[in-house]
Homo-oligomer: A and B are copies of this chain.
Amino acid sequence: MTTLTAALPNIFSTLEHDHKKCVSKALDTAQHLCVVRGVQLTPIRLQVLELIWDSHKAVKAYDLLDRFKLQQQAAKPATIYRALDFLIEQGLIHRVESLNAFVGCNCSEHQHELLLLICKHCHEVDERPAPKVMAVLSEEFSQAGFIAYSKAIEAQGICLKCQQSQDEQNSLTGRTDLSVNLKPYSVFDLSQD
């Protein structure tokens, strides 16, 4: 009963989706987990979590702060960072290291490693379980004699949704915008021998 991410393409990338469901599921799960764990999902923490779940995009701490202040109360960075620390500890959000930003976790009820697909175009982040990848990765660790305490994969690229909407654009305009500034992998074409 735990096949939360059954569809192969990600949860939200192919079509419009009912984001209210994402939000209510995330908040319900958060409430539940915090009760079970005996930790406090205080109003501030809840509010920050809601702000993060405003979209599937990764959010910057100071953007959260600004939005938090708009809603009502004065706040300082510490307020936000403390809430973020709590949410991360509880596995309710993830920190996206390559962006210095934060994104809601869509499967916080499970232990899981991270595979984050980060779209350079729409900035949405899709978290996928990817057990195969993680298994192979674990093998690699044992080979290296490395004891891993956390692993995270962050991939930058273009999500399916953006590819599709770009295709539509192109069929109208004849342009291929996405290739601008985006070359697959780095520029290593000179192998010395």
Contact = CB atoms under 8 A, between A and B. Distances in A.
A154 B140 CA distance: 13
Number of chain A interface residues as a range? 35 or more
A22 interface: no
Given A140-B128, A188-B91, A191-B109, A182 B133 contact: no
A122 B36 CA distance: 37
Given A109-B191, A152-B153, A154-B152, A146 B117 contact: yes
A133 B143 contact: no
A152 B13 contact: no
A125 B157 CA distance: 25
B149 A140 contact: no
A98 interface: yes
A47 interface: no
Contact of A136 (B32, B33, B136, B191): B136
B8 A97 contact: no
Interface of A: 1-2, 8-10, 13-14, 32-33, 36-37, 91, 97-98, 109-113, 115, 117, 120, 126, 128, 130, 132-133, 136-137, 139-141, 143-160, 163, 182-193
